């Protein structure tokens, strides 16, 4: 039996098949800083900087929509967290410059195979 080694990567096929005229678009949000990954960092402390809105595809429909993103700053620099219903409620009273402590409590299973992130949010008002 003879095996052949693949000499091109799927990315090479992708680029070649697209042809000329396509421009690469940055899909990261570098101006917002690093995303808080709650599974890797279940406890976060920092300064609340405010919220902003970004255009992002809806996970169910794929349609582009405006999504709220919360912005913070900690000792590593700018950070952000995607809007979730429980995080939104927890941050309802926070003002820019307030210190926040957020503890991710995990995900709650919902009907239809969906989940919801749960948080314990504490606020220390700025002086």
pLDDT tens digit sequence for 110-123: 898 888 899 999 99
Q: Which CATH number fits domain 32-124: 1.10.1740, 2.40.50, 3.40.50, 3.40.720?
A: 2.40.50
21: enclosing H helix or E strand: none
What are the residues whose beta carbons fall under 8 Å from the beta carbon of 72, sequence distance 6 or more? 33, 36, 44, 46, 47, 48, 49, 78, 79, 80, 81, 100
pLDDT score at 11: 61
Residues facing 50 on adjacent strands: 71
Residues facing 33 on adjacent strands: none
> In terms of pLDDT, which residue wins out, 66 or 45?
45
The model's pTM: 0.72
């Amino acid at each position: 039996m003879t095996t052949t080694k693949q000499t091109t990567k799927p990315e090479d096929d992708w680029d070649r098949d697209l042809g000329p005229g396509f421009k690469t678009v940055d899909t990261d949000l570098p101006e917002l800083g690093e995303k808080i990954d709650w599974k890797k960092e279940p406890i976060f402390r920092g300064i609340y900087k405010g919220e902003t809105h970004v255009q992002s595809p809806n996970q169910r429909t794929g349609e582009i929509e405006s999504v709220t993103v919360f912005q913070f700053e900690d000792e590593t620099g700018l950070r952000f967290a995607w809007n979730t219903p429980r995080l939104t409620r927890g941050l309802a009273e926070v003002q820019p410059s307030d210190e926040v402590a957020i503890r991710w409590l995990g995900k709650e299973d919902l009907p239809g195979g969906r989940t919801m992130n749960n948080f314990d949010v504490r606020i220390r008002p700025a002086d």
